[in-house]
């Protein structure tokens, strides 16, 4: 089986993850596949034209975006707006810390296994916790109301329509609610209803 599929398959575990995400290149590829890093060419915020990749090995992804149009000269990091932007370690190590975080491993354990300082691991954990809190708060109070109709669908997390479900594919059962009024989605995980092993 193709390594990334293996990670997303029902036998998701740390060994498959480590085998699939074994280098910086693979980590970047995975982050793009799972939509943690945008893979499309952005448009210049000033003129709206597609930006150009300017390569340099010193950049984290090996390039940055630039609009070369005379009046613009806009430069943008391909990691802008992603949580990798705030991480001061490689994409690979950030992805590894992410796995430890998902597994609820102690931060000192994560630091030792990944080979980063405790301070770095704490920073990433802290930031991931922030992301979770924002996502959770966003979900909490956005659905329903007097003039709203909420559709419930147990399969929402599995469809490609909602990209946030990709990493959780086949691991966790859930149901999704979607507001007809605001089009906002609320996803609820069902912890004890595990898919077939
Ligand atoms: Zn431009």
Question: Over the stretch 128-146, which tens digit does the pLDDT of each residue have?
Answer: 888 877 776 665 655 666 6
Considering the domain boundaries, does residue 41 fall inside one?
Answer: no
pLDDT of residue 181: 66
Q: How far away, in angstroms, is 42 Cα from ligand 1 center?
A: 11
Considering the domain boundaries, does residue 23 fall inside one?
Answer: no
Q: How far away, in angstroms, is 54 Cα from ligand 1 center?
A: 14
Q: How many independent structural domains does the chain possess?
A: 1
Q: Hey, what long-range contacts does 132-137 have (CB within 8 A, 24 or more apart)?
A: none
Considering the domain boundaries, does residue 27 fall inside one?
Answer: no
Considering the domain boundaries, does residue 177 fall inside one?
Answer: yes
Q: How far away, in angstroms, is 64 Cα from ligand 1 center?
A: 14
- Residues 117, 196: Cα–Cα separation, whole Å: 38
What SS3 class is residue 19?
Answer: helix
Higher pLDDT among residues 189 and 98, named by residue: 98
Beta strands at 150-153 and 75-76: parallel, antiparallel or unpaired? unpaired
184 is in which domain, residue-wise? 150-190
Considering the domain boundaries, does residue 171 fall inside one?
Answer: yes
Lowest mean pLDDT among 57-71, 123-137, 181-195: 181-195
Considering the domain boundaries, does residue 2 fall inside one?
Answer: no
Q: How far away, in angstroms, is 194 Cα from ligand 1 center?
A: 48
pLDDT of residue 191: 52
Q: How far away, in angstroms, is 44 Cα from ligand 1 center?
A: 5
Is the pTM higher than 0.85? Answer: no
Which percentage of the chain shows pLDDT scores above 70? 63
What SS3 class is residue 104?
Answer: coil
Lowest mean pLDDT among 2-16, 46-60, 84-98: 2-16
Q: How far away, in angstroms, is 70 Cα from ligand 1 center?
A: 8
Lowest mean pLDDT among 14-18, 26-30, 189-193: 189-193
Q: How far away, in angstroms, is 45 Cα from ligand 1 center?
A: 7
Task: Select from 33, 4, 34 the least CA-distant residue to 21.
Answer: 4
For tokens 């998701």, what's the residue?
A: 12
- Residues 176, 188: Cα–Cα separation, whole Å: 6
């Amino acid at each position: 089986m193709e390594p990334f599929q293996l990670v997303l398959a029902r036998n998701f575990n740390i060994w498959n993850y480590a085998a699939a995400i074994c280098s910086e290149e693979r980590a970047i590829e995975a982050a793009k596949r799972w939509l943690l890093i945008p893979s499309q060419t952005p448009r210049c915020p000033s003129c709206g034209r597609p930006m150009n990749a300017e390569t340099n090995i010193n950049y984290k992804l090996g390039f940055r975006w630039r609009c070369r149009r005379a009046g613009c000269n806009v430069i943008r990091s391909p990691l802008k707006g992603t949580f990798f932007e705030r991480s001061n370690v490689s994409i690979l190590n950030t992805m590894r810390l992410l796995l430890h975080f998902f597994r609820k491993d102690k931060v000192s354990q994560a630091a030792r296994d990944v080979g980063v300082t405790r301070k770095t691991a704490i920073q990433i954990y802290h930031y991931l916790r922030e992301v979770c809190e924002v996502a959770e708060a966003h979900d909490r109070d956005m659905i329903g109301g007097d003039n709203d109709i909420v559709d419930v669908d147990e399969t929402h997390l599995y469809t490609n329509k909602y990209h946030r479900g990709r990493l959780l594919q086949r691991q966790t059962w859930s149901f999704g609610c979607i507001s007809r009024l605001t089009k906002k989605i609320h996803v609820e995980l069902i912890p004890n209803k595990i898919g077939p092993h």
